[in-house]
Structures are given as structure tokens and as C-alpha cells.
Amino acid sequence: MDAHGMDDSEWVELQRNLLETIPVYDRINRFATLGQVARWRRIVRDMLPEGRVLEVGCGPGSFAEDVVGRDLVCLDPIPEMLNSAEERVNRSRFSRGEAAATFVEGTAESLPFEDNSFDGVCSLFSFRDWYDKKAGLDEALRVLRPGAPIIIVDPAKINRIHGMLGVMWMKVWVGAYARIVCGKRDHPWKWLTKTYSEFGTTREYVQMLKQTGFSDVKAKLIFPGMATIWQARAPLE
């Protein structure tokens, strides 16, 4: 595992650990982010364009649940995640009088969609778990319409020192709480700490987005310094 992706055995182990997070995902994430994750999600929802939007790595539907007024497609490689998300998200959409969202099993590296078929792509706290980040960005660019945005949110790592502090936070603060909530020492957040420790810096992914062919690439650290929002656009034809 490195800043670009992971091997097959690591991918399988990651999926197993992510599956275990479903019952406690939101509870532990609120604790890990000092309650800021809800605000970060609101920021991204406000940035989404009108039209057809793809969320890559929707997890249990924590973000998609409150996406309003978009033709929403949610993708995840774990069937149990999709089942959890579909029930949660569509219950909220139906209560607002909206049509159901679409849920698709798949990976970022092989999006099962036609070229130029989305008005926006987003990924919240999933990008660091992609098997091959560059391949996933290539696919996101392929399915975006010209000029359409991609928005990525994931833990911040400005430099090596900032990253070391983040790993300590995950191991000590989040790890202790996860042990209590999960009721065992071998909890899935141990593996998620590993994906963070191998995650690249904010600048590395700015460069990766540019190398992929995106334009207007920028990144912003979100208060209180725990997460980064990367924004870019598919080039105009």
C-alpha cells in the first residue's frame, strides 16, 4: 500500500474491515472529527451541480441521505453497504417527494457508466481507500461531461509532520473510542488508520488530478485542519 493504491490482498482485507464499520460508521466518524463531519458534508452538498451526480464510495449513505434535487447515483463495491445506503437514502428522498436514487455495485477504477454521462462526481472519505487512485481519477474524468466538477474530501495531510499527528490521533483518540464502541481490540479502525498513514499529501493529489487531465484544480484545508477538499473540472472541449 502506498499513496497511489494497494495490492489485491490489501484490497480484500480493506473490504472486510469496511464491512464491519456499517453498524457504527456514523457514530465513530462523529467522534473522530469532533462533530465536524456533518458540516463538511453540507459544504460539499452546497457545491454539487444540478443534474446527474455520482457519488463514488457511498458507504452506508451518510452523505447521500441529504442530497436534494439531484439525479443521484451511488456506487460502492460492497453489496451490504449498498443495501444499507439504499434503504436509508431512499427513505429520506421519498419523505421529500423525490424519486429514488440509483445504487450500483462497482469500483472507482471501472465505472459501469457511459462517457460524458454525469454533471458531477464526488467522493467523501472514500478516495484514500481506492484500489488505484490514478485509474479511478481517469474513470471519473471519462464519465464527466465537459466542464463538470469533481469534488473529493478526505483526511488532510499537509506534510509529513501533519501526517504523523494525524496517525497519532487515529491510533490513540479514535482507536480508544472504536475499541469501546466495537467491543473488541481488533476493530476495523485499525485498518482505516493504516490507509490514512499511507495516504499521500494534499499536494500530491493536486498533482495527480492535473496529470489526469483535470483543469482548475485546487485544494482547501477545512477547519480544524482534519480534512481537505479537492476541486477540479473536466476540461471544456
Burial (CB count <10 Å: 0-12, 13-18, 19+), residue 162: middle
pLDDT tens-digit series, residues 155-189: 888 888 888 888 888 888 888 888 998 888 888 88
CA torsion, ordered 159, 162, 166, 172, to nearest 10 deg:
140
In residues, how long is the chain? 237
Residue 201's identity, in one-letter code, is: T
How large a percentage of the chain has pLDDT more than 90?
72
- Are 217 and 209 a contacting pair, CB within 8 Å? yes
- Are 126 and 57 a contacting pair, CB within 8 Å? yes
Question: For residue 224, is pLDDT > 70?
Answer: no
Q: What angle do CA 159, 204, 169 make, to 5 degrees?
A: 40
Query: Which of 23-32, 75-84, 203-212 has the lowest average pLDDT?
Result: 23-32
Q: Which fold has domain 8-233?
A: Rossmann fold (3.40.50)
The ranges assigned to domains in the chain are: 8-233
pLDDT tens-digit series, residues 111-129: 999 999 999 999 999 999 9
What pTM was estimated for this model as a whole? 0.94
> Coil, strand or helix: which one is 132?
strand
* Residue-by-residue DSSP string for 135-151: HHHHHHHHHBPTT-EEE
